[in-house]
Chains A and B, each alone.
Chain A
Amino acid sequence: KAGVTQTPRYLIKTRGQQVTLSCSPISGHRSVSWYQQTPGQGLQFLFEYFSETQRNKGNFPGRFSGRQFSNSRSEMNVSTLELGDSALYLCASSLGSGRGTDTQYFGPGTRLTVL
Chain B
Amino acid sequence: AQKVTQAQTEISVVEKEDVTLDCVYETRDTTYYLFWYKQPPSGELVFLIRRNSFDEQNEISGRYSWNFQKSTSSFNFTITASQVVDSAVYFCALSEANQGGSEKLVFGKGTKLTVNP
Q: Give chain A's interface residues, CB within 8 Å of chain B.
A: 31, 33, 35, 42-45, 48, 50, 55-56, 58, 88, 90, 92, 94, 96-109, 111
Contacts and interface: CB of A to CB of B under 8 A. Distances in A.
20 contacts: A33-B103, A35-B105, A35-B107, A42-B107, A42-B109, A43-B91, A43-B107, A56-B100, A56-B104, A92-B105, A96-B103, A98-B99, A100-B31, A100-B32, A100-B96, A100-B104, A103-B47, A106-B47, A109-B43, A109-B44
A58 B103 CA distance: 12
A100 B103 CA distance: 5
Contact of B104 (A48, A105, A111): A48
Contacts of B32: 100
Interface residues of B, number: 30
Nearest to B49: A103
A56 B45 CA distance: 21
Interface in B66-117: 91, 95-110
Contacts of A100: 31-33, 95-99, 102-104
Nearest to B6: A42
A88 B102 contact: no
